[in-house]
Amino acid sequence: MFLKAALILFFASFAQAEMIFLGNAALSLSDLPTLEPDSVSSSTSSFDLQESTEEFESELSTVTYNEQDIEFVETSGEYGEEIFISTYPIVEPEPKNLGGNGNITITRKDTGESITVTYRDKDGAYLEEAFESIKHIMRCSLEDAEIKTPKLLVEILDAIEDKFGKKGIILLSGYRTKDLNEIVPGAAKQSLHMLGWAADIKIQGYSSRAIKNFARKLEAGGVGYYPTMGFVHVDIGDIRYWERIPRKYRKSNRKKTNKKTVSSENREKIKKSSI
């Protein structure tokens, strides 16, 4: 009886605790924001459509999604990211050398502005002055607002750049403020772009398919492939992969095509049988 009462008191006191301990750190519950009910670790293009399309693939085991996510994708624009902030508190992943040489060239597609910087020295130390330049080039295109660019994201971009002949990264989208994110067609409400954790890129002279294949091998974060628009999304969130399928390849259209093919074959059979 005494043991039962002690257990009840223990769990009651635990339920009323005002602090959450993570490793050596403690967070007050009042510090935690209220997440939207539909917040998920990630949401991708409609997987049932992807599975039925031979030209595209998806790794369902690496992504958490639900029916609400699929509905969001189907009602969103033709393009855009369905990348969600997965957890809170948000802790930036530790940087690691992914094979880049420590030098990077980034050119903004919208303004043509370009920088070439050395962000990591020969001893592996990061050069903060270079990251100030990178932060500026990655700024929001709507408001010119800036936010810290994670070192791991720069390492990813550097590794990709060096793989493809050091031609430089063409930046389509980096940091987005909430206002910009709200007007981007199909963008998720909690896009990693709003943390400065993501970049949409191209490299002149190389296909987006080749870029996404290499980016996936890095296993350093999320990789999204947008074949029609010809760009690749990379981020430092959970390791996962998705593709945005052009509407003409989607399941509904494939069904119509298959029906026509079958009808044509049947007509041919009828002709032969009547000879």
Taken in order of first residue, the domains within the chain and their CATH numbers are 47-249 (3.30.1380.10)
How does strand 198-202 pair with strand 231-235? antiparallel
Share of the chain above pLDDT 90, in %: 51
- pTM here is 0.62
Residue 18 — φ and ψ, nearest 5°?
-105, 5
Closest-CA residue to 119 (of 141, 99, 104, 97): 104
On the question of pLDDT at 15 being above 80, the answer is: no
Distance CA 166, CA 185 (A): 31
Nearest alpha-carbon partner for 222 in 74, 66, 40, 43: 43
The span from the CA of 243 to the CA of 264, in Å, is 32
Each residue of 195-250: pLDDT tens digit?
A: 999 999 999 999 999 999 999 999 999 999 999 999 999 999 999 999 987 666 66
Determine the pLDDT at residue 187: 80
CA geometry: angle 78, 247, 54, nearest 5 deg: 130
Residue 125 pLDDT > 80: yes
Token pair 């050398």 is found at 97
Q: Which SS3 state, helix, strand or coil, does residue 249 take? A: helix
Tokens of 249: 């390849």
Do 206 and 190 form a contact (C-beta atoms < 8 A)? no
Partners of 8 in the beta sheet?
none
Question: Where is 225: in which H helix or E strand?
Answer: strand 222-226
CA-wise closest residue to 65 among 38, 35, 42: 42
pLDDT score at 70: 32
Predicted confidence (pLDDT) at residue 118 exceeds the cutoff of 50: yes
CB atoms closer than 10 angstroms to residue 85 = 20
Residues 194/229, Cβ–Cβ less than 8 Å: no
pLDDT tens readout for residues 36-71: 333 333 333 333 333 333 333 333 333 333 333 333
Neighbours of 209 (CB within 10 A): 13
Q: Tell me whether the omega of the peptide bond preceding residue 227 falls within 30 degrees of 0, making it cis.
A: no
Cα–Cα distance list, 112 to 107, 109, 169, 205 (Å): 6, 5, 12, 17
Overall average pLDDT of the 130-143 stretch: 97
Q: CB neighbours (10 Å) of residue 145?
A: 14
